[in-house]
Amino acid sequence: MRCSACGTDNEAGRKFCAECGAPLRVTCTACGSANAPGAKFCGECGASLTAAPAPVPVPAAERRLVTVLFADLVGFTSHAEARDPEDVRELLSRYFELCRTLIDRYGGTVEKFIGDAVMAVWGAPVAMEDDIERAVRAALDLAASVDALGHELGVPDLRARAGILTGEAAVTVGAVGEGMVAGDLVNTASRIQAVAEPGGVLVGDPTKRATEAAVVYEDAGVRELKGKAEPVQLWRAVRVIGGRGGALRSTGLESPFVGRDRELRVIKELFHASSGESKAHLVSVMAVAGTGKSRLSWEFFKYIDGLAEDVRWHRGRCLPYGEGVTYWALAEMVRTRAAIAEGEDPDAQLAKLHAAVEESIADPEERRFVEPRLAHLLGLEAAAPADRENLFSAWRLFYERLADEMPTVMVFEDMEWADASLLDFIEYLVDWSKNHPLFVIVLARPDLAERRLTWGAGKRAFTSLYLEPLSIGDMDQLLAGLVPGLPDELRAAIRARAEGVPLYAVETVRMLLDRGLLVSRGSTYEPAGRIGPLEVPETLHALIAARLDGLAPDERRIVQDAAVLGNTFTLDALAKLSGLSPGDLEPALAQLVRKEVLRLQDDPLSPERGQYGFLQDLMRRVAYDMSRSTSARPAILRRPRSTRATTRWSRSWPPTTSPRATRIRRPTTRPRSAAGRPRRSSGPASGPGPWRRPWRRSAISSRRPSSSAIPSSRPGCTSRRA
């Protein structure tokens, strides 16, 4: 064999030249065959002999700060033994799907499933801001969702528990899924999960420190963990109390959120369906004052702000009075999007609006169409064409362009004050923008239904939620969270007073604290002395008085007369007291039932069947107080006291303090129209209508199958980008 380098003949079978040491054959890196020196391609497999050999991948690990979550199902093994294998499979697959969906929504990566346990990681393969907080939010959401899943699948005691730990771990670069993260951190996180109670989320010190602005924690003690030489301090995550990084968290007394898990879950799922399918959806949340509409939207905001996905959030309130209030809520949303401050100079406002339009709309022609019409909405451009069709289409275009970039939420609050034109716009927006991820929430007291009987009727992408009063158990939970350690007797009295309306409970507690009747002792509260019969807090008195003032004069008179008769009364008794005929009274009573001031007992089994009653006793008491001036009092009340039927309850209820409110939630002024004229309270409805209070109304009715307390300081508009 001749050497190609020096020309020397070598013996057959030699690998290197005996003269110069050059290789006498080239081994193919693909198939291992020997080839003559100088050959460009392998004679055996055709692979190139000249290309540089492909580098052999060597797994590279690096140390990174990650957060590891372990979660599993509690008592699942014993449950599985007693169940049909098909049911068990269904439950497990729903649970795995839930884990994947939630971990994904919060920006984590599922590392692996081990039996019914899931391990997820934040901070690898890609680190993002707020990884740690999102891991805790995901764990809390998972625990609550497994609870709901158990109820749905007929396993009410199904619970998940989770352990979370943040720290340095060896991360395999480029790996996704199993084997991505290793080290002591992983073992410790799994040990933490093993000591969590069913439904609980435990975290270590570093996780708690990084997230305590947004999450409330309880001390879970220093615990021995299997395999750990030293005991570890653990914390129980209780609830999320703010937006990202604790943004906008309440500085005052905020009760824990209770009793509305199902409604919140429905809203979340509808939102994900809307953003996932790029479809508009309208959710209407109705309930009497103080039942928790704003609180529900605040809980939804905290959720949205904690997700990995960027979302545009807008909020606007309707005003009950004043000039130019027709589209106030919408204008408020545009103002906050453009960062326009109250009372800013009009030129500065126009400049900011211009910048916001430039940023949101790429097409110059569209910008020219939209900008003057938004200026008109803000009252900045009187000369802009004011025909409604063009205005609506320009405003719609603005929101469509925002939604094209990222899912967009619009929350309209206090819609019981909304003008018909704003209701028209919302319906128009949801109809015309149906192929854009616009998620519109309308919060209103039942008076909205009176203003627009057909609200939502016939709409495909419409869901209606009705918030019923909270149950006794929920109210107890609310009070226990608000003022821990409250004596049973006092808690029962507050609960009885509140009748399921959270605002009433919160305001009564606030009054007791303000007056020093309830004092804090460490982490619990105690009465400072004997607490007599509970008064109506001034704030509530003002709220209810405003509601009564909002009724038509004849309705108010009837309510005041009825208040004299007690909590329930018959039509005949009211007719005698008021001097009106039953025929005159009935339409007005029907209207009051529709407005959720009164209820009609229509249960065929009830001994009170056919009687009317006050929906809230507090309303009756305030109505009675308001009628105490002689002129407003029914004639019968001017008779000697002994002949009245009312002394029974008026003694047990001390007169309220002056109705001057310390914190007036609603002005007692009569509502005014956009033109500033007092708005007429609509009279009794003609026609049949659903005027009875729906005793067994289903809380949720959706026309579209689901496929998939914000105080004024709370968010107007926000949006984020990764």
Ligand X SMILES: Nc1ncnc2c1ncn2[C@@H]1O[C@H](COP(=O)(O)OP(=O)(O)OP(=O)(O)O)[C@@H](O)[C@H]1O
CB 17 within 8 A of CB 3: yes
Q: Name residues contacting ligand X, limited to 547-566 (CB under 6 A).
A: none
The residue at minimum Cβ distance from ligand X is: 292
> Alpha-carbon distance 421 to 448, whole Å?
13
Distance CA 160, CA 139 (A): 9
Among 146, 282, 402, 503, binds ligand X (CB under 6 A): 503
| Residues in 330-349 at the binding interface with ligand X, rule: CB under 6 A | none
Nearer to ligand X, 148 or 637 (CB): 148
Half-sphere exposure of 491 (CA within 13 A, CB side): 19
Give the count of beta carbons closer than 10 Å to the beta carbon of residue 327: 24
Q: Which residue has the tokens 């008491």?
A: 621
List the x/- string, 252-291, binding to ligand X by CB under 6 A: --xx-xxxx--------------------------x-xxx
223 secondary structure, DSSP code:
E
Residues near ligand X (CB under 6 A), total: 22
Helices (H), 532-613: 538-549, 553-565, 571-578, 582-594
User: What is the closest distance, in whole angstroms, from the C-beta atom of residue 295 to Mg ion in the complex?
Assistant: 8
The piece of 141-149, 404-412, 499-507, 573-581 that touches ligand X (CB under 6 A) is 499-507
Task: Identify which of residues 79 and 260 has a Cβ nearer to ligand X in the complex.
Answer: 260
DSSP 670: P
Residue ranges with strand state E in 241-382: 281-286, 312-317
Of 67 and 291, nearer to ligand X (C-beta) is: 291
Q: From Mg ion, ligand X, none, which one binds at residue 478 (CB under 5 to 8 Å depending on kind)?
A: ligand X
Residue 554, Ramachandran bin (φ over 0: left; ψ between -120 and 50: alpha; else beta): alpha
- Identify the bridge partners of residue 110 per DSSP, sorted by sequence position: 120
418 or 709, CB closer to ligand X? 709
State the minimum distance, in angstroms, from the CB of residue 295 to ligand X.
Answer: 3
Residue 594 near residue 587 (C-beta atoms within 8 A) = no
Closest to Mg ion by CB, 117 or 441: 441
Binding map of ligand X across residues 663-702, x = CB under 6 A, - = no contact: --x-------------------------------------
**Judged by CB under 6 A, does residue 599 bind ligand X?**
no
CB 493 within 8 A of CB 483: no
Residue 86 φ/ψ region, left for φ over 0, alpha for ψ in the -120 to 50 degree band, beta for the rest: alpha
One residue of 506, 548, 551, 592 binding ligand X per CB under 6 A: 506
Burial of 249 (0-12, 13-18, 19+ CB in 10 A): middle
Q: Which of 161, 272, 281, 295 binds ligand X (CB under 6 A)?
A: 295
- Coil, strand or helix at 562: helix
Choices 300-308, 456-464, 502-510, 598-606 (CB under 6 A): range interacting with ligand X: 502-510
Among 614, 709, 717, 718, binds ligand X (CB under 6 A): 709
User: For residues 190 and 294, which CB has a smaller minimum distance to Mg ion in the complex?
Assistant: 294
- Closest residue to Mg ion: CB criterion: 294
Q: Which is nearer to ligand X, 502 or 716 (CB)?
A: 502
Place of tokens 């809390």: 140
Q: For residue 305, which of 263, 264, 245, 350 has the smallest C-alpha distance?
A: 245
User: What are the distances in angstroms from CA 677 to CA 111, 329, 417, 674?
Assistant: 63, 19, 14, 7
Cβ-contact 596, 555 below 8 angstroms: no
Nearer to ligand X, 161 or 547 (CB): 547
Q: Which of 171, 440, 442, 478 binds ligand X (CB under 6 A)?
A: 478
DSSP summary character for residue 694: -
Nearest approach in angstroms of CB 294 to ligand X is 3
Nearer to ligand X, 243 or 437 (CB): 243
Contact residues: Mg ion, CB under 5 A: 293-294
464 or 627, CB closer to ligand X?
464
> Of 268, 272, 281, 445, which one interacts with ligand X (CB under 6 A)?
445
Q: Which residues bind ligand X (CB under 6 A)?
A: 254-255, 257-260, 287, 289-295, 414, 445, 478, 502-503, 506, 665, 709
